[in-house]
Amino acid sequence: MNDCLFCKIASGEIPSKKIAESDDIYAFEDVNPQAPTHILLIPKKHVPSNLELVDGDKKVVGQIFLMANEIAAQLGIDQTGFRVVTNCGANAGQAVSHIHFHLLGGREMSWPPG
């Protein structure tokens, strides 16, 4: 049985605010936004984190970055700037064990991240 929260969101079993979708990717609003725009992009395939990515996932990771660009343009943050972030493991603060890419924008961000 797959008990993964983001697999359930991608399949529609758990509701979410969908922003975009393709055969292999689902993008939705983060429930606890850290910026005026905060979208999560996930592969529909269950991959727990960066560390479990395999050769066959190269294409979908590239497609996620291209979809993030499209969403950034749709939501009007492409020209002001945005960040695409993936947290991997405990020290990075990864809370959900299904790889996800945060698209953040709509405000100025500092560097380095906390």
Tell me which residues are annotated as active site.
100
> Which 40-69 residues touch ligand 5GP, going by CB under 6 A?
40
Q: What are phi and psi of 98, to 5 degrees?
A: -145, 115
Of 1, 3, 23, 32, the residue at the interface with ligand 5GP (CB under 6 A) is: 32
Identity of the residue, 14 or 73, whose beta carbon is nearer to Zn ion in the bound complex: 14
Q: Which of ligand 5GP, Zn ion, none lies near 7, with the C-beta cut-off 5 to 8 A by kind?
A: Zn ion
Region binding Zn ion by CB under 5 A among candidate stretches 5-13, 31-39, 53-61, 99-107: 5-13
Beta bridge partners of 28: 18, 40
Instruction: Give, in order, the Cα–Cα distances in Å from 110 to each of 14, 25, 83, 89, 105.
Output: 33, 28, 11, 22, 12
In terms of Cα–Cα distance, which of 3, 2, 6 is closest to 102? 6
Among 29, 46, 57, 61, the residue binding Zn ion under the rule CB under 5 A is: 46
